[in-house]
């Protein structure tokens, strides 16, 4: 799957399911400080990613992921391995 498609799907989840304003969704956006994603949102996002991309995500693997761009990178690596 191409990175562009991953970004589009993730952004759509954030807008539609997590209700984040589209204008704040940028690769450099900090997940907690800029997007106000909390631990419950992370659980929802993990379920959405697993269901839609067919990958298994462990919460502890996301410990070092702080920006949306890093999150895209993480998903891309999971899908393409």
- Rounded to the nearest integer, the mean pLDDT of the chain is 93
**Assigned architecture for domain 3-80:** Orthogonal Bundle (1.10)
Task: Give the global pTM.
Answer: 0.90
Q: What is the pLDDT of residues 60-74, one digit of tens each?
A: 888 899 999 999 999
**Residue written as tokens 């659980």?**
43
CA pair distance 39, 36, nearest whole angstrom: 10
The DSSP bridge partners found for residue 30 are 67
């Amino acid at each position: 799957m191409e990175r562009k498609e991953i970004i589009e799907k993730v952004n759509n989840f954030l807008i539609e399911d997590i209700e984040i304003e589209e204008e704040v969704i940028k690769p450099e956006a900090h997940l907690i400080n800029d997007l106000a994603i909390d631990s419950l949102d992370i659980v929802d996002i993990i379920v959405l990613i697993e269901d839609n991309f067919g990958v298994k995500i462990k919460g502890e693997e996301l410990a070092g992921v702080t920006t949306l761009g890093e999150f895209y990178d993480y998903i891309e690596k999971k899908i393409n391995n």
